[in-house]
Structure 1
Amino acid sequence: MSTFHRNQHIDDPEAVPVRDAATVLVIRDGPELEVLMVQRAGRLAFGANAWVYPGGRVDRADAVNAARVGINLSDADASVMLDVESGGLAWWFAAVRETVEEVGMLLGTPAVDVSLVAELRATLDEHGGDGFCSLLEQHQIALDLSALHEVARFVTPVGPPRRFDTRFFVARAPVKQVPQHDASEIVATQWIKPADAMSAWRAGELELMAVTHRMLACLDRFDTAEEVLARAALRPAPAHLRVDDPDGEYLVYMPGAPEYETADIEVEHGSIRLY
């Protein structure tokens, strides 16, 4: 079971550079709301063995590639949403790209033949984002980036060997596509109810990072994927979660909860819109 620690004082907080990243909570309706989780390989320097969501670093070319194949969301609007000067759409494209790379699922499209998704994944692996976009263009497929909703931002606290400024997105699982992990960085996948994932963490059966747990707690307030996406589309003002940790239970409270005002104020740099 993960143990979540508060930030410790570090003399040089700039020693580890902070890299931009994007990650996606891919959700679907089973008997109840489920989210796709992936397990990171044990050899990785950051988050080894942890169960997380598909995602990774934002590449320099992502903004250009987003302009090539993205529709229904402009870079200007995306940049306003993320409060950056320009290039905001890169985070949306990175979220799509990383989901293809890690689990072989293509977000932001209507029904696409699974063989084409496999070809896109292989092309992305061999030729990068440029080849990936060329193949999409060849098949006249555009990515509806408005289908991904930005719902949180967290910055890795000082201390770990890797630090990320990560934007979290939520998106509905594509039709008839089955996640298949890459067997390199990702060694397993599973669909799981948010409450079950948090229970498994408490039982020591699932390794989670603190931010992953926070987003599970956000999802657990909703019953269906439609409810999650409807709330995300409203873009509520960003708010900070608060946490109590009696007896290692790690209870996360949203704004509006009775316990919120008396819970510990979270010290990590981060905010959520999914509450």
Structure 2
Amino acid sequence: MDAKMELLVITGLSGAGKSQAVRVIEDMGYYCIDNIPPALIGRFFEVCAQTDGKLRKVAVVADARSGDFFYKLLEEVEGIKATGVDVKILFLDCADEVLVRRYKETRRRHPLLDVAGSLEKAVAADRLILKPVKEQANYVIDTTLLSITQLKQRIIDIFADSASSFFQIDTLSFGFKYGIPVEADLVFDVRFLPNPFYIPELKHQTGLDQPVYDYVFGQKETGLYVQKLFDLLDFSVPYYKNEGKSQLVIGIGCTGGKHRSVAIAETLNRHFADQGLKAKVTHRDILKDR
């Protein structure tokens, strides 16, 4: 097989957004096939490899609908990797209660409903089946709080560079009141810092506004904390990179995700970019309750 070929395996919980993800990936030039039995992925990819480069970027969707065949997925992935092909796994995750709500709103049947007996049990069974694959995934996107547009942008941010041979650091600010992002590899809690929310003239601004940024970093403890954070991450990031991770997601959380976490996430992102690393910052909750 051509070592320059790419295979992207899209998987994840039923209802978490795989269909939307496939449409985005297809628009980015991937040849996509949905709901392929995992045991056939290797043979399908062999066919793609014989097209003289016409199908260099291939994406397949595999999930628990395949039944017992699904357990072949990781075995197939490892077999293709052994040929020198660049294989990545994108896993779409979502909170159970949101998945249940989505199914009830759309009145669609969960693929495991007949086996599990109830929608809640079907979601739980799906998560259990997919756990080993999630643990091996290169990228995990939690769609619990994402709109379709936000999901599209996250996918573009990850895969737009085609070769996927880069290491990317995503710094994600969030509010603990809205939940911890499950895709985060590391989470840092900055709620101990003085809160600009209680300063009347700063309450309705965000960490992207200079007055809020100046207030946050005008506190002695902020500078000390951020320097220690730099030290920890400068030490550990190379090890994450060396172990083969394609993406490191760092969550920075405050109460509402608008002031302290935003200012510190921006600073972290600049720190990584200044080191020549591929870095991106996202402020998940900055527009909530506005």
Please classify the TM superposition score into its range, dividing by the shorter chain length. Answer: under 0.3
Q: Give the TM-score, by structure 1 length.
A: 0.26
Larger Cα-atom Rg:
2
Structure with higher strand content: 1
TM-score normalised by length of structure 2 = 0.25
Choose between structure 1 and 2 for higher RCO, CA contacts under 8 A separated by at least 6 residues. Answer: 1
